[in-house]
Amino acid sequence: MGQFTFLAGTAYHAACVVQPRTNGQPSTRELIAMIKQCQINKSYQFPYLLETHLQAARADPDVLSTLSALDEIIYAGSSLRASEEEWAGRNGINLVNVYGCTECGVLLVSEGTLGDYKNLLKPHPGAIFEFVPIASDGSDGSDLVELIVPREAPECPDESLRAADGRYHTRDLFREVEAGKYTYCGRSDDWINMENCSRLCNAEGIEGNVQKFCGNIIAGCVVVGEGRPSPILIVETNDLDSKRRTEIFRRINGARYFHERIGSEKMIISVLPGQLPRTANKGTVRRRGAEIMFKNEIDNIFG
């Protein structure tokens, strides 16, 4: 749906669309060639693909200069690491973050990293919705709000998709960082209820931390542990030896809430790249799917 929205917007503004020759998303080399040969001034990317191009820009001045010459690179579908956004802004690449959903369309848009390295989201002009605080014990997660679309809003989908209160609950969580400006904090199922149900564990935050400090030795990761005493980290790596788990644990053992820490090396499960269940289009790891797939291994840890 998101891709169609971008395509429709392009047609509305009487712009041209350049289609890559490869089946799927273009490599960095092909993307740069397309930009130069077809005089592209705007690009739409999923974050996991955009990160690949940004990594290439760090090592290749030609890639960096080509990307920075674009008016904007718009991404949507999931979050981009804050460190990537800041690096892009400081190096002249204008990344624009768009939040929307299939049921409601575009609801939030950022100013772009050239104007704000934080790339915080603001309500899209004309969009009608509300932010509602989620229930929490106040230790952490108490400042999280869910984006909800009221029944009277034009964006509110069919009644069959609404909750009992008549509103559409997106299940997407945000935090107000500055007045009227928000950062995306994942979906409600990205926050795990721990064993005593009195604490919310920011699973997505742990995953971001792992990617930041272990990105060069893992291919992917996911945090699970709904209803467990502590979170479990599952990582994709070519090295399944215990020494790799030791290295990962050493790197990520930083300051987080006690119930959000990976308690020991035994709480890390190593699997080969490609084994974690992912969504077909965006390539994001399915948390619930991973929890079910590795249930026996998780049971053995707490056995």
Euclidean distance between the first and the last CA atom of the chain, given in angstroms as a whole number: 43
Pick the closest to residue 127 from 99, 146, 88, 92 (CA basis): 99
* pTM of the predicted model as reported, rounded to 2 decimal places: 0.68
> Could you give the CA distance from residue 222 to residue 289 in angstroms, rounded to a whole number?
10
State how far the alpha carbon of 196 is from the alpha carbons of 36, 192, 232, 260, 300, in Å: 56, 11, 16, 14, 20
Beta strands in 87-127 (DSSP E): 95-101, 105-110, 121-123
Domains observed in the chain: 2-122 (3.40.50.980), 126-188 (2.30.38), 194-302 (3.30.300.30)
Q: Are strands 232-236 and 268-271 parallel, antiparallel or unpaired?
A: parallel
Q: What local confidence, expressed as pLDDT, does residue 138 receive?
A: 43
Note down pLDDT in tens along the chain; length 303 residues: 566 777 777 787 788 888 887 766 789 999 999 999 999 999 988 887 898 999 999 999 999 999 999 999 999 877 888 889 999 999 999 999 999 988 998 999 999 999 999 999 999 999 999 999 975 444 445 588 999 999 999 999 999 999 999 999 998 889 999 999 999 887 776 778 776 555 678 888 889 889 989 999 999 999 998 888 889 999 999 988 889 999 999 998 765 666 567 889 999 999 999 999 987 767 788 888 899 999 999 999 987
Enumerate residues 6+ apart whose C-beta is below 8 A from 265: 242, 245, 246, 249
Burial zone of 50 (CB within 10 Å; 0-12 exposed, 13-18 middle, 19+ buried)? buried
- DSSP H stretches of helix in 13-151: 28-38, 47-59, 61-68, 82-90
